[in-house]
Amino acid sequence: MPFNLFGGLKVLDLGQGISGPFCAKLFADLGAQVVKVEPPAGDSSRQDGPFPGDAPDPERSGLFLALNTNKLGVTLNLESASGRGLLVQLAQGADMLIESFPPAYLPSLGLDYAAFRAANSRLVVTSITPFGQTGPWANWQASNLILSNLAGHSREHPGPVDDLAKQPPLQLAARQAEFVAGLAGATASVLALNRRRLTGLGSHVDVSGMEALALLPQTTLAEFSLGKPPKGRHKDVAGRQSLLALLPCRDGFVGLSPRQQDQWERCVEMMGSPEWASDPKFATRESRLAHWDELEPRLAAWTGGQNKEDVYRLAQGHRIPSFPLNTAADLFESAQFRAREFFVEVGHPAAGPLRYPGWPIQLGSGQKLELTPAPLLGQDNAAVLGAKGLGLTQDQLVSLRTLNVI
């Protein structure tokens, strides 16, 4: 079962893609009853993948499966009057509704916040959009690439360049902007729920993905406020300044940074005191910096015949800053993750057994997180909308399915 921190809380997840579903997943994994409401064609993330064997299948999208654990799943066509009516009925018995549509969409269907508030004054409605509910950009759409740039991250994205004209700013990897927006939505929603405990009233939580992301590069904002020129991406000077080398190994890369003189001396010892290390060009920090283009290939020649974990452990034993550059495969084999049981195996009727990321917390009770698989499209229509839910009969469900309402 999920962590029982939000037991009894009822949440409707109308989110599409990442930000809304991720926000709702956090509540689902913490014990809330979350009903995912999808259009009859399904959440857009069902088409995104990755898919096993690269064969597209809406029931086997790795992205959808990961974002929708511990949720029930129903389908509702909000473009139909019947679908909207059923959603309002569901909202009457819910504590929270999470959505990520463009701000004008739900109001165009008569489902603005005022309509939900009239149906349930205690309902917390959380809207997660790229730019928020107000402002000149409110109804514009944006991807991770766009938000990364507009929030100021791309100019500060780490990583040296050789040609500033040909290597422009980068976006944040792995669609981080959307996950950050979802996390901000969950945090704000908890605050809204706490406020409801005091007032008895719900509220409309307005989350801007761009603003959530702009919170993170505080150093950049502070430097600008102090009148310092923006840094942007730069030539390969960071490694030289810190004597940090990202070096190839037989199975990947390792970071090595013998920046202090005593660390360098231990590094030379660790490498077996090669003859080249006695060259005066490498005698001091300043001279090593000045001859970095000659030093780095020699370090790479030493690491190239070894595994990155071996180099990391050896450097650790010599008290030299070092780290392996882990891949996804490395994470699944991490002794630290295994010890804390971070990955949880879940069986899915279409995708089979897969391992999913868990939570970065441990409970004092010793309770372990368990995940139920993401729902098949419409799998809980009967349970949520039928006799034990909203009270619809089997004939009514069949009729709604025929009319493409569910």
The sign of the CA dihedral 380, 385, 387, 388 is: positive
The verdict on whether omega for the bond into residue 274 sits within 30 degrees of 0, i.e. cis, is no
Instruction: Could you list the beta-strand ranges (E) of 190-296.
Output: 204-208, 245-249, 252-256
> Cis link prior to 360 (omega < 30° from 0)?
no
- Buried/exposed code over 238-256 (b: 16+ C-beta within 10 A; e: otherwise): ebbeebbbbbebeeebbbb
Closest by alpha carbon to 100, among 121, 130, 70? 130
Per-state percent for the chain, helix, strand, coil, to nearest 5 = 45, 15, 45
What the block records as the tokens of 43 is: 């959440």
Beta bridge partners of 10: 33
Residue-level pLDDT at 364: 83
Residues of the chain with pLDDT under 50: 238
pLDDT at 238: 46
Determine the residue type at 222: A
Cα(380)–Cα(58) distance, rounded to whole angstroms? Answer: 17
pLDDT at 244: 83
- Identify the pLDDT of residue 173: 76
Model pLDDT for residues 67-83, shown as the tens digit of each residue: 999 999 999 999 999 99
**CA 329 centroid distance within chain:** 18
Domains of the chain and CATH, by start: 10-216+338-402 (3.40.50.10540), 238-327 (3.30.1540.10)
pLDDT of residue 121: 97
The pair of structure tokens assigned to 137 is 């950009």
